[in-house]
Structure 1
């Protein structure tokens, strides 16, 4: 029997977001000033259990399905963008660590209170084989949440051990490193997502035991259900799409609330009385609703195939990649409309509209929302697309788990 389509913990998780939201909103400016998520918000996310929402149930997680994840990330980003981004990063990486690390490594990483995570899922470092594990060196960008993380899960290329050079892509691994063994660089002085603390970080000759590593990007599932049979890019797709939807929804909330109060300099009437604004607001609502429906449909089909044990075909991959980029693009359009409609008052640091504008445009720069998704979809439609290694299916779980 396949897993249920929706997580039984959906309502609990959404209720947890409601409890955390007032804390995140109250500390939003502090997160911006400190350029990392305010400690009070980190504590609230911890106590709510939201950091564990995507991790396997065997490790204390909720193992929430992709559709539930979209809704939870959307709701948290709607309340506060920095909290929403930080939640989706830590929760997404906890799913990777929890599902794919060996048992011995998991016992260490998940000992005690549920851990927080950071780490760029791009192999920017090098791992050299030694007795019992690897020595890892490298520098990675965009370590969102690294200042409040307990563990960093990141990628590295295996250094050649002699002999002829390997054919095809190099062998890669993920490594889990305690935050104390990671050097954080104070680089996150940016326009958008300032409160996410996405600093660069370095690992300088750290020994990582074999038990704290797994293959990258196609590690076999070691625990949990069908969710973790989904390949890496698809597994993380709900994170970025949910975040973008939440930011756009917050922007429309803000401009709808401001419209009756904002008097336009010419002709001295409230913005909310202008027919042109009504039309633009209606179009924005339709765009966002359509992008949301597309997101739920595309990732819902992905989840249905995973529950049925069916592989993802090229057309599914095209939709998974498209939905992340397209939804982010639509969110940016919607937020830009709301920001411009907000007029001069939207310029001020106290305005949520300027923060939504900056943060959604920061999200458009993320690797999960690149324009080549459109090219891939076009080639898939013409039958000329090929699967990238990051889209490769996972091998069967050890022992038929």
Structure 2
């Protein structure tokens, strides 16, 4: 199968193959490299620097400015639907650029996390354990390509629907370009906007999907760790010292898991906080556009955009809830192990360990929001508040009347 040869890490490896948890982030980190935020390789130093400059100039730095400048200069020429299509993307573009800068500053945290995954893999010895890791890695990579498909589908749908009506997708401002003057200028501006948006979507996939990729692999390790805890003290041929050494090793395993979470916590905190700030507003504008102004083509593009926005926070928030449940299962597994008849030293160590296991692993968005499904629902509900406000103030009707008046003048 051709796809399997090109993307082998998308498929589950054989149980006999060694566990390699880094495979779960293989394609993610390759795309992070192509974002131009890594240290340039010596062999392709100039090419990488030029690519990084072109992509980040268009997508990270200029695109948000282009949106705002376009509004200032050509606001009266926007139809309500075009304005909302551009506005919903503008807010997301600003948030995407901010998240890219956060990842750029903390990109070495991904390498630290992968090194810790290598430590965890050393404890994987059985075929059943290797199978869980392989399944988590393949699922992680498939989710990454699903994110990429949804995001790129939005960019392409918006581009095609805009070209069909003879306008650039977002009407950004580009010096020396007036898309109204000729078809050549229209094609050039549409191409530039499409390139910038594809670059932004490419970046957005990386900065939105990395928490999912890493936490999926972590959950597989935690499930294996739970089984390891449950088996403590079950071997009747072990000496007291051997049992105690196994307990100490499990304590070290738990510390490794916590170090893994700590290595990713600053990146996750910053990027999810930025997304929580804008998700409700962006979804509100998208709903208004779909219900009140969009034709079929722009409605399909807006629905693709809405799907992409929901993917930015929802899957990871769900995983955070599962992670809390996994922590509870670790404590239950240790309590269910065979410990009642063992020495006081063993029981004291187990008691302290059990207390630490009962502290759930949580991620915070800049110490303001707990990242969870409840928080995600709360910020998403704000979109309905935005929609209701616009409906009650009759802003949509006023925009439609203004558009009709402008058309009557001509």
TM-score (norm 2): 0.31
Between Structure 1 and Structure 2, which shows a larger proportion of helix residues? 2
TM-score (norm 1): 0.32
Question: Which structure is richer in relative contact order (CA contacts within 8 A, separation 6 or more)?
Answer: 2
Between Structure 1 and Structure 2, which shows a larger proportion of strand residues? 1
